[in-house]
Every structure is written in structure tokens, then in C-alpha cells.
Amino acid sequence: MLGLTIREVSLALREGRISPKELCQKCLKLIKKTKFLNSYITVTEDLALEQAEEAEIRFQRGKPLGPLDGIPVAVKDNFSTANIETTCASVMLKGYIPPFNATVVQKLLDQGAVLMGKTNLDEFAMGSGSTDSIFGPVRNPWSYSTHCRDRSGQTPGGGTSDSDWAVTGGSSGGSAAAVASLTCFASLGSDTGGSTRNPAANCGIVGLKPTYGLLSRHGLIPLVNSLDVPGIMTRSVHDAATVLAGVLQGHDPKDSTTVDYPITPINLPDDIDVSSICIGIPREYHAPGLSSETLSHWSRTAELFEKAGARVVEVSLPHTQHSIVCYHVLCMAEVASNMARFDGLEYGYRSAVDSSTEAMYAATRHEGFNDVVRRRVLSGNYFLLKHNCKLFVVKQIRIGHLGYNFVLMFVCCVCFRLLTPTTLTEAIRYTDFTKEDNRTRSAQEDIFTQPVNMAGLPAVTVPVALASTRLPISLQLIGQAFQEQKLLTVANWLEQQVKFPLIELPDMHENTEKSSSSLAV
């Protein structure tokens, strides 16, 4: 039952083949068995069982709230949750309990979703591996799957050490691992430069970054206000569409950046004709470091579209090489601004140093932030100095938000959808990943994903194959602003063609019911 999609398990709940409480208990049991993955920071067991019992009463009365009623979900620990600790995986917010729910969290609860817990991440979402958390790194469930382990029980690459496992990607690695390991059916991440799509790709699930302004950011502890978007992770494209259109999208008066766009259901037909569409292949995405296997599956997927009658054309995004630089300058400038609120005076961590307010403030920020956050704050403050602001920040805004964005949006209008890799390679082993510093890794891992955030466009990553290491390889589809219906329709077609396998975790869960539809992510 845990291997089913939201659509399938929702039907099972309505038909009485399983109750919400039974489903919740199965997920809680699996969370305990997969605790070593470190997906969750907080498991809300009592709350989840209470919510499941309430859902059970509604089903008994024949009055379920919506498509997510009784469905276990998880939320990244940078979304505010009323009466539940929200830490951002940082000492700075450890013990902080918000008095309200983020809008997207409240919308999930209003639909009867069962909150299993808060998931792990890079501290304040600053990272691309989910390795920089005060609670420890998140492990990729695929490292422990039957696909990856040989008969001797070794991990990918033949290693047997405790650190010889693949990272999830970041910064929403806990949310991705939670869905991939079958402990919940959907999760929320945040996406500033790829933080939803990157871990979704590494963990073999679907990761959707909606158009900027389509989902409310109210209650999402900000990293970069102009780029942050709540992201959706599920095991199928149809499920992502259900969570987006059926639950989360819509204008929020508490968030001035949300757009009052008409809310319409997203209907993904089972029989999809792609012969009338155009798929663009950006030539600049043949970037240094792109693995031969990823390139091969990218080309093979383009051929799938061509054979189905779609027009596949090569396009040029000449500003691609400059985009990552623009992104990091803007990111650090806004990080410095957003982190200024953590001063030890109002809420969060406060240093015991009390010789003066200035000394307490400096000690609080030194003790409360890790090296990654401190470096970004220092860099951001440097860029924001009066004599540097015009030289760096204003120039990057002009290049990034006017130059690159215009070209990307123009190409998307011509081709409707772009097909690109999501990451340079499949998931990297932890021992190799941590050989590079956070800044270098972020530049490498965000290369294909951050341009979409700069342009405010929607994108979705879909797993397409297993690499020779038996770890997932995923591709990204980029669409036009507010055209999630068209984007997800094409993604659904691709998902049907590749039939990516469901993860198999030995000795961790019961034998799942595998219908033809449950084998496709």
C-alpha cells in the first residue's frame, strides 16, 4: 500500500480497503525503520495519529475533505508550523516554535493531509547536498535499495564503510528522501536555485518548482525573497498536479508576491499526443562535468519525443555561463539582509555573552550560524556596501533579471518547453561530495536549475533511468510562466514512456502492491 501513488491510495481510502489510521501507522513504522536515513528532524507521531483519526471519522461519514484527506505528507523544516518546532537545521532556531502555520502548510491541513513530521535540510537551505545540518547529513534511500546492493551487500561503487553512501542533494534532501523511502506520499520543499528539483532528481522522484507567485511564501523562512518558491515532491507527475492545483495554488493576501491568477484544475489525460509540441534543447547545457550517461539519456529522451512526432530543435541561451554568477551575487546579498533578523534579541538562539549588546549580538551570530551561513552573510554584506552595490548587485540584477530572463522566456515562448539535465551526474557519494566546499558544490549542482528561478518560470524534474551505479538519472522540463498544465502534461507523457521503477528497500517495508501504474514514479 505504501508504494502506491496518491491517486491510488486515495481511492483505497474511499473504498475502505485501508483506513487513514492504518495508513498513518504503516508510515510511522517505516519512519522508525529508516531512521538511519536522517530524513526527519521532528516526527509528529501524536499529531499524525490524531489527524488520521479525524480523517477516519470523515470517511466513515462519507464526507472526505479533498484529494489529500488522510494522506501522509511531510514538510521541510523551514516552513513555519504552529506549535511544532521549526529549526531550519540551525542552532539559531533550535527550540523555536512558531505561533502560526505557513500558508501552504495550512492549505495541506485544511484538505485533511496527515503531517508526519518536519524534514532535514542544509542549514537555512544553504547547500546542495543536505550535508550541512546540525542534525547530520541525509542519506539517499537508493544507496540502500536492492537495485544498488550486490549479493555481498555492498553499497554503490563497492564500498562498505558507513560513509560510503550517496547524498540526496539539497537543500530539501530530507523531503526528497522521505517521499523516496515511502514514509509519506508527498512533501514540501523550498526551491531558490534548484533545492527541490536537485534532491528529487537524486532520489528518483518528481520535483515541481511552480511559477514564482503561484504559491504563497508566507511562513516560509526566507533565503532569497525574489527567488524562493515552495516546491512539491511526489512519486508521480499526476500526484504533483493534484497537490499543486487541487490544494496549494492561489493568491494569498499575506504574501504580496502571489499573483491573483485563476485557479483551475489540472487534468492530465492518460492518452497524450505530443506531436503538436516543440521541445527545445539548449546547446549551452552541454556543460563541463556533464556525465556521459546523463548526456546519453538526455539524447535518448529527445529521440523519444521525435519518434512521437514532436518537433525537437536546438536553441541557444547565451547568458547561461553568466547566470550562476549573477545568481550567487544576488543570493548572498539577500541572505545578508534576511539573516540580519537573527540578533539574539527577539527570538531564537541567544549567546550567554552579556558584556554589551554589541558583544552579545556578535557572539550570537557566531555561535548560532555555521561556517556556510556566516560566509554568505559576510559576502553579502560586502556586496551591499555603498561603493560595491552598484558595481556588483545592480549590475547582476540587470544581467540576470533583464538579460538572461528575457532570453529564457523568449525561447520558452517559441519552443513552449525546454528539455535539459537536472544535475551533471547521478547522486554523488558522501565521501566524494564533501571533498569540495559548500560554495563550489552549490555552483556545480545548481548550474542547470537556478536559471529557472532567475526567470520565475515553472520546471519539473522526472526520473528517466538508472545509471550504471544503479542510482537515478533525471531530466528537467522547463515551461512557460503559469502554464503548469501544459508542462505537467508533457512530463506525464515522459513518465509513461520511461516507466521508472519504484524503489525497493530490502527488509524495510512490506511487499507493496505493484500495479502497472505504481511501477512508474
Take residue 77 and report the three cell numbers written for it. 523544516
Active site residues: 76, 171, 195
3-state secondary structure of 279: strand
Q: Which residue has the cell 505530443?
A: 274
CA distance 459 to 477: 6
CB 180 within 8 A of CB 241: no
Burial label, 427 (beta-carbon count in 10 A; 0-12, 13-18, 19+): buried
Helix, strand, coil percentages, rounded to 5, for the chain = 40, 15, 45
Residues 382, 387, 391: CA angle, nearest 5 degrees? 85
Considering Cα of 379, then 380, then 382, then 387, what sign does the dihedral take?
A: positive
Label the pairing between strands 278-282 and 311-315.
parallel
CB 120 within 8 A of CB 135: yes
Could you tell me which of 331, 334, 367, 330 has the C-alpha nearest to residue 348? 367
DSSP conformation class of 169: -
Burial label, 264 (beta-carbon count in 10 A; 0-12, 13-18, 19+): exposed
| Residues forming beta bridges with residue 232, ordered by sequence position | 188, 208
Helical H segments across 129-222, by residue range: 173-180, 197-202
Going by C-beta distance under 8 Å and a sequence separation of 6 or more, which residues neighbour residue 495? 206, 236, 237, 462, 520, 521
Q: What is the number of residues in the chain?
A: 521
Take residue 186 and report the three cell numbers written for it. 508527498
